[in-house]
Chains A and B, each alone.
Chain A
């Protein structure tokens, strides 16, 4: 395949909800071991876009899609592809921490394996490495059997990251992972992101300009003007987007003049 140089790539993604065209011709490339930030004002389609990357819109009956998402050159929307397999390779962390309320900390880490019907060999080891990679092991190692909801919000979010990591994904999608967290927890998650990118591709939606500059290698600016579908205005190295944007709208947005 020709597109092997990019680990994950979207080609002319269009999304509709019912009659509403919400995303138009989004083509982005996500190289391996890089963090890509998706920024833009509320309602610009960046969350909608990140959810197309692991087929999360399929529970919405009115959703429609055009275009392709290539993972290692293969379209994840292809006829022969099982969305469950896609989601095992492409993990996701959500805006609000969403650990499973009936499960313990340990069970939450192993929940993906159970949900996808995989066998669990050496579960204890997997729990430890996953929690370590999400930088939460030291806080929870003595209370693995306690309910996940006994953790603080920031800890719950890192538990959710650990839960995704236990699946051994190649790509981690993060949809505003810090928007519900305090600055301390936010900093710890950002540190975790920088550690994780050595072993995977990360895409993060964020409203926080400083966060994008701290963690992202490249940044895409989304915009939806006057009810037009959302689209990418500018895409490039984070430094260029923030310090030498080509498009005046990008300049206004990253300098906080709207959005």
Chain B
């Protein structure tokens, strides 16, 4: 308690830069740091100004959650609900396919593969992440779609009694299912490389301990490795989800956009949506009202992506309190 007696004077210990070079460096670094915040806020602000007429004309809730895109009515009906839901649905399908794949890849690289193969595999995974999305889109359209439609048909034939696998249109191309798999290809590398990093930071003695207790590879993965890494992996998944939500070209190539009706869960039907693809498909010949609406769609996408990323970083930070030891 004597430490807090008023006679002791406390000084700040934080070091201020004194030399010129130090001051310049300090200034540049601080400017760069703050500018990132300013840029994000500025983008959101100016987008919102341009988007405001659409929000005003359509009403924010109707615009965001309603359905229909019709320029022939007055005022035009420009609602993005079907697209917004489609973004979530496709991202969800993509993540569902990507998670087991990515975790298996990470496990193989970190725990099973001989060193040389592990190194090669790591490089190849990173290369996969570097493929431009338009190339993946072309692959999805030209190569994968027919195969994917075949898979979809098989699923429909064997599991068609489950509502989400029903298909009344008779065509299996250009569905959320196919778009979701194409997205999965794009986000597997993200989740795999983050998961591998998390696995590599695990205390190997904990794994040895589990093995010495009679654990099998499977039970050690399920009961020790995954629970210990769960927070980090979840953060990686949300990061990938953010990427999936924003994906434009690849989805545009392989999905039939349906503006008027929300396709809630019929993932094998050739109708779906994605906000980014909506913007791409409509922007070229848009009316003034539409341009404002598309910018507003951008704002909505931006906000949802920001929320996902914020949740991701919160989870990653909170995830492994025992690491702080």
Which residues of B sit under 8 angstroms from A81, Cβ to Cβ? none
> Are B211 and A87 in touch, CB under 8 angstroms?
yes
Bound together, the chains give a CA A147 to CA B223 distance in angstroms of 15
Which residues of B sit under 8 angstroms from A115, Cβ to Cβ? 210, 213-216, 219-220, 223-224
A interface, over-half SS = mixed
Spell out A's residues near B (CB within 8 Å): 54, 56, 59, 61, 84-85, 87-88, 91-92, 94-96, 98-103, 111-112, 114-117, 147, 149, 160, 163-164, 167
State how many angstroms separate the Cβ of A76 from the closest Cβ of chain B.
13
Bound together, the chains give a CA A98 to CA B214 distance in angstroms of 15
Residue in B114, B208, B213, B322 whose CB lies within 8 Å of A111: B213
Bound together, the chains give a CA A117 to CA B217 distance in angstroms of 12
Known pairs A54-B212, A94-B208, A95-B205 / 14 extra A-B pairs, C-beta < 8 Å: A61-B114, A61-B115, A84-B216, A88-B214, A98-B203, A101-B206, A102-B224, A102-B228, A103-B227, A114-B219, A115-B213, A115-B216, A117-B216, A163-B213
> Are B215 and A100 in touch, CB under 8 angstroms?
no
A84 and B209 in contact (CB under 8 A), knowing A111-B223, A115-B220, A147-B322?
Answer: no
Instruction: Output the nearest chain A residue to B230 by Cβ-Cβ distance.
Output: A102
State how many angstroms separate the Cβ of A83 from the closest Cβ of chain B.
9
Q: How large is the interface on B (under 10, 10 to 19, 20 to 34, 35 or more residues)?
A: 20 to 34
Instruction: Output the nearest chain A residue to B217 by Cβ-Cβ distance.
Output: A59
Spell out B's residues near A (CB within 8 Å): 111, 114-115, 203, 205-206, 208-216, 219-220, 223-224, 227-228, 322, 325
A149 and B325 in contact (CB under 8 A), knowing A94-B205, A102-B227, A114-B219?
Answer: yes
A167 and B214 in contact (CB under 8 A), knowing A100-B206, A115-B223?
Answer: yes
> Are B213 and A98 in touch, CB under 8 angstroms?
no
The 10 lowest CB-CB distance pairs between A and B, nearest first, are A115-B215, A116-B214, A112-B213, A92-B212, A88-B214, A102-B227, A98-B209, A98-B205, A101-B322, A87-B214
Instruction: Output the nearest chain B residue to A88 by Cβ-Cβ distance.
Output: B214
State how many angstroms separate the Cβ of B234 from the closest Cβ of chain A.
14
